[in-house]
């Protein structure tokens, strides 16, 4: 509970800081909305009183009618204007919230980002943005303030109703003037409000539970929706493998889970809702009768009867709205707490304070010292007791079978994960001690699963919107993308992919890799890391790229992971990984002489190429 209140206060402050106009506009809108129905109630009552009066004053009657029409018109305009303004402000808050979630996600440690719990938190927060959390809190405040204003006016009218005394000394007049009526009124009012609060809190708990139950299936259903139709790139496999049936089945399963949790919740809530509704209606009828009796015994005129009965409806609605809104606010506290939990997720990397001095770029050495690493949730380590050193100017090749730990090795080097055992050192200092942002600037990378954004080509190369066009064009040229660039009429401004633009250009796998390599060249960091950067390129293009890369990394450090061992020839040293361990290390010649794993892999690939070559010449002879 304390956590919810804390979240509540933080949310109010957040909104006030983010968009200072929100709270005053909420207050004004709510007050206007609540007061608006009373214009009609009070002025109609006055008009009716005037009509039924024996000393009817036509001038006053006309004035009241004109006042009613004018006030209703002006009131309606003001309510509409404020309501639309508030809606606009709420969208602004929502956009900023969305932004804050994304910014937090970008700044989060990579390990946390891979955590399914964080993924679910992000999905849930963005899914509920308008219905729950901070934006909903503004709507709730609007309703609560409105309810309070309405109750306030109604209380004033209620006091007036009880204060108006029936004339005469008849039995009926004495009865309606008796103090037991206000006492009964208060008692009934207190009881029905208490019941409403109790049933509302049950409802609130049930709703929250229901929403928790349907959170996971809802998020998964959304992902599936994207996979099925929203992202056209994924549509290929769906069609070729006729996966529609399987996807639809899974989608239906998820929808059934969502509907099931709703059905279950509804059955248990229905009874309390019916009783609460019944109580407020009985209360309304009682006040109706009481005001009617007072009119009969001459406490006030027919016009006032209209005013008091109108007031009863507003009073009842105000009470129900207040109780429901307080319930919703309590429930919403959990969503606010979810949001702040996400925002408060602490980065481990944030603690490091040591700057990466510029001199380090001039002369550096990395050392893996007995490094062992297990992925979160994995059964066993992906890397075991890895020890090796490499320094500026060295070109290191990392080879090994699939799953032997090559990519994990570079992920640790780039500090996307921290090892559980051992240390990675840069110039003798544990990399965990360096400022994370500065440490990351040390690397230019091309990962296997590089990502090309649906932005312009130039933005993809520079990873920013304000970039040097000359450098970007040169990087593309050096990455072997030059001929393709020259076919693009809009050059660097060519929009990639068709997600947002009809004339967006699709890239082949090889072209995409070249753009990723160009991004790596553009960054011009001291150390290049390339994880199978040429997997989608043919052997000629690969040789060409490696040659260009070699020129670029002259004097810098570089690590290459490649499945084609022939590409590693030019590297000064080769690290051979096997099943999470560093099995061998040495130059190409040394490793061949040792006749170990590298030698085996080399011979296997050489055999494959020889077979391929003899197959081709055989075919040539036949045709
Ligand atoms: P390589 O690059 O040599 O093909 P990886 O370093 O990608 O191998 O993977 C090494 C091992 O770690 C594999 O067994 C793989 O299944 C496992 N692995 C890779 N990424 C993850 C991850 N995010 N979570 C759990 N295990 C992973």
Residues 6+ apart with CB under 8 A from 565: 399, 598, 601, 602, 605
CA of 380 to the centre of ligand 1 (A): 11
Q: What was the pLDDT predicted at 226?
A: 67
- Cβ 376 under 6 angstroms from ligand 1: no
Q: What was the pLDDT predicted at 308?
A: 83
Percent of the chain surpassing pLDDT 90: 33
Q: How far is it, in rounded angstroms, from Cα 308 to Cα 295? A: 11
- Assign 378 to helix, strand or coil: coil
CA of 411 to the centre of ligand 1 (A): 10
pLDDT at 143 over 60: yes
pLDDT at 623 over 50: no
pLDDT, tens digit, for every residue of 502-520? Answer: 788 888 888 888 899 899 9
Most confident of the ranges 211-220, 275-284, 413-422, 565-574: 413-422
User: Of ligand 1's atoms, which has the minimum distance to the CA of residue 400?
Assistant: 3
pLDDT, tens digit, for every residue of 192-217? Answer: 777 777 776 677 677 777 777 777 77
Please provide the DSSP assignment of 385-447 as one string: EEEEEEETT-EEEEEESTTSSHHHHHHHHTTSS--SEEEEEETTEEGGGB-HHHHHTTEEEE-
For ligand 1, atom 22, the nearest C-alpha belongs to 375
* H helical segments located in 553-596: 588-594
For ligand 1, atom 15, the nearest C-alpha belongs to 403
> Which residue from 339, 340, 323, 325 is spatially nearest to 137, judged by alpha carbons?
325
pLDDT at 492 over 70: yes
For ligand 1, atom 16, the nearest C-alpha belongs to 403
Question: Lowest-confidence range among 124-128, 321-325, 574-578?
Answer: 124-128
**pLDDT-derived band of residue 411, with 50, 70 and 90 as boundaries?**
very high
CA of 383 to the centre of ligand 1 (A): 9
**pLDDT-derived band of residue 234, with 50, 70 and 90 as boundaries?**
low
Query: What average pLDDT does the segment 539-557 reach?
Result: 75
Q: What was the pLDDT predicted at 616?
A: 45
pLDDT, tens digit, for every residue of 567-613? Answer: 777 788 999 999 999 999 999 899 999 999 999 988 887 666 555 44
CA of 580 to the centre of ligand 1 (A): 9
> Which residue from 566, 565, 567, 554 is spatially nearest to 528, judged by alpha carbons?
554
pLDDT at 385 over 80: yes
Mutate which of 111, 372, 408, 531 for ligand 1? The one with the most ligand atoms within 8 Å of its CB, which is 408
Q: What was the pLDDT predicted at 527?
A: 92
The HSE-up count of residue 615 (CA atoms within 13 Å, CB side) is 6
CA of 403 to the centre of ligand 1 (A): 6
- Cβ 406 under 6 angstroms from ligand 1: yes
Q: What was the pLDDT predicted at 486?
A: 93
Percent of the chain surpassing pLDDT 70: 89
pLDDT at 618 over 70: no
Q: What was the pLDDT predicted at 620?
A: 41
Q: What was the pLDDT predicted at 266?
A: 59
Query: Which tokens belong to 463?
Result: 């990873």
Question: Lowest-confidence range among 12-26, 329-343, 460-474?
Answer: 329-343
Q: Which residue has the higher pLDDT, 593 or 285?
A: 593
Q: How far is the CA of 352 from the CAs of 436, 442, 573, in angstroms?
A: 7, 16, 32
Q: What was the pLDDT predicted at 139?
A: 93
CA of 239 to the centre of ligand 1 (A): 29
Sign of CA dihedral 75, 76, 81, 86: positive
Query: Which tokens belong to 119?
Result: 């993924």
Q: What angle do CA 552, 557, 559 make, to 5 degrees?
A: 95
Which residue do the tokens 């804390």 mark?
Answer: 6
- Cβ 408 under 6 angstroms from ligand 1: yes
* Structural domains of the chain in order of their starting residue, each with its CATH number: 2-343 (1.20.1560.10), 358-596 (3.40.50.300)
Q: What was the pLDDT predicted at 199?
A: 74
Query: What average pLDDT does the segment 273-290 reach?
Result: 79
Query: What average pLDDT does the segment 312-333 reach?
Result: 81
Which residue do the tokens 């998020």 mark?
Answer: 219
Question: Lowest-confidence range among 16-20, 140-144, 285-289, 516-520?
Answer: 285-289
**Gyration radius of the chain over CA positions:** 37
Q: How far is it, in rounded angstroms, from Cα 217 to Cα 255? A: 7
Q: What was the pLDDT predicted at 86?
A: 95
Query: What average pLDDT does the segment 439-466 reach?
Result: 89
CB 153 within 8 A of CB 348: no
Q: What was the pLDDT predicted at 120?
A: 77
- Cβ 382 under 6 angstroms from ligand 1: yes
**pLDDT-derived band of residue 615, with 50, 70 and 90 as boundaries?**
low
- Cβ 379 under 6 angstroms from ligand 1: no
Query: What average pLDDT does the segment 443-453 reach?
Result: 86
pLDDT at 100 over 60: yes
Query: What average pLDDT does the segment 95-124 reach?
Result: 83
Q: What was the pLDDT predicted at 230?
A: 58
Q: What was the pLDDT predicted at 617?
A: 46
Q: What was the pLDDT predicted at 611?
A: 55
Q: What was the pLDDT predicted at 619?
A: 46
Q: How far is it, in rounded angstroms, from Cα 545 to Cα 513? A: 11
CB 133 within 8 A of CB 332: yes
CA of 374 to the centre of ligand 1 (A): 10
Q: What was the pLDDT predicted at 494?
A: 93
Query: What average pLDDT does the segment 110-116 reach?
Result: 82
Query: What average pLDDT does the segment 279-304 reach?
Result: 82
Q: What was the pLDDT predicted at 185?
A: 79
| pLDDT, the chain, mean | 84
- Cβ 405 under 6 angstroms from ligand 1: yes
Q: How far is it, in rounded angstroms, from Cα 448 to Cα 540? A: 19
């Amino acid at each position: 509970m304390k956590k919810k209140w804390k979240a509540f206060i933080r949310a109010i402050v957040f909104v006030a800081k983010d968009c200072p106009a929100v709270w005053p506009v909420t207050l004004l809108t709510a007050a206007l909305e609540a007061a608006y129905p009373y214009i009609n109630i009070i002025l109609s009552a006055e008009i009716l009183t005037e009509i039924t009066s024996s000393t009817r004053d036509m001038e006053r009657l006309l004035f009241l009618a004109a006042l009613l029409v004018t006030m209703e018109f002006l009131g309606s305009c003001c309510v509409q204007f404020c309501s639309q303004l508030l809606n606009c402000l709420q969208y602004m808050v929502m956009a900023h919230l969305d932004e804050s979630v994304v910014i937090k996600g970008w700044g989060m440690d990579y390990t946390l980002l891979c955590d399914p719990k964080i993924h679910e938190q992000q999905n849930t927060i963005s899914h509920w943005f308008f219905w729950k959390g901070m934006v909903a809190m503004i709507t709730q405040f609007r309703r609560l303030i409105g309810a309070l204003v309405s109750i306030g006016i109604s209380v004033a009218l209620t006091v007036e109703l009880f204060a108006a005394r029936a004339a005469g000394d008849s039995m009926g007049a004495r009865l309606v003037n008796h103090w037991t009526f206000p006492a009964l009124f208060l008692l009934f009012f207190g009881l029905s409000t208490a019941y409403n609060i109790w049933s509302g809190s049950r409802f609130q708990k049930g709703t929250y539970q229901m929403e928790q139950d349907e959170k996971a299936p809802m998020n998964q259903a959304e992902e599936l929706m994207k996979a099925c139709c929203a992202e056209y790139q994924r549509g290929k496999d769906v069609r070729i493998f006729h996966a529609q049936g399987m996807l639809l089945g899974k989608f239906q399963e998820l929808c059934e889970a969502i509907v099931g949790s709703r059905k279950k919740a509804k059955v248990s809530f229905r009874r309390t809702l019916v009783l609460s509704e019944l109580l407020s209606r009985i209360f309304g009828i009682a006040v109706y009768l009481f005001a009617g009796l007072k009119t009969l015994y001459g406490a006030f005129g027919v016009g006032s009867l209209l005013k008091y009965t109108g007031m009863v409806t507003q009073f009842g609605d105000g009470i129900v709205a207040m109780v429901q809104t307080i319930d919703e606010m309590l429930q919403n506290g959990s969503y606010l707490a979810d949001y702040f939990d996400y925002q408060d997720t602490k980065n481990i990397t944030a603690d490091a304070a040591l700057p990466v001095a510029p001199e380090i770029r001039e002369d550096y050495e990395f050392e893996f010292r007995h490094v062992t690493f297990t992925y979160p949730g994995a059964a066993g380590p992906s890397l075991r007791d890895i020890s090796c050193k490499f320094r500026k100017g060295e070109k290191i090749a990392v080879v090994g079978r699939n799953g032997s730990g090559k990519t994990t090795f570079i992920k640790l080097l780039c500090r996307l994960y921290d090892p559980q055992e051992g240390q990675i050192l840069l110039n003798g200092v544990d990399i965990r001690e360096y400022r994370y942002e500065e440490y990351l600037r040390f690397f230019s990378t091309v990962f296997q699963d590089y990502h090309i954004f649906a932005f312009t080509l130039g933005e993809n190369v520079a990873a920013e919107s304000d970039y040097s066009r000359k450098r970007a064009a040169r990087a593309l040229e050096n990455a072997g993308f030059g001929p393709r660039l020259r076919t693009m009429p809009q050059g660097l401004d060519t929009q990639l992919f068709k997600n947002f633009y009809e004339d967006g250009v699709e890239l082949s796998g090889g072209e995409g890799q070249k753009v990723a390599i160009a991004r790596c060249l553009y960054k011009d960091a001291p150390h290049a890391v390339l994880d199978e950067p040429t997997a989608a390129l043919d052997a000629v293009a690969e040789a060409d790229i490696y040659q260009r890369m070699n020129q670029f990394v002259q004097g810098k450090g570089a690590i290459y992971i490649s499945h084609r061992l022939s590409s590693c020839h030019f590297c000064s040293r080769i690290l051979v990984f096997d099943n999470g361990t560093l099995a061998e290390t040495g130059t190409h010649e040394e490793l061949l002489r040792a006749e170990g794993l590298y030698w085996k892999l080399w011979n296997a690939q050489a055999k494959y190429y020889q077979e391929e070559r003899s197959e081709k010449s055989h075919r040539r002879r036949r045709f």
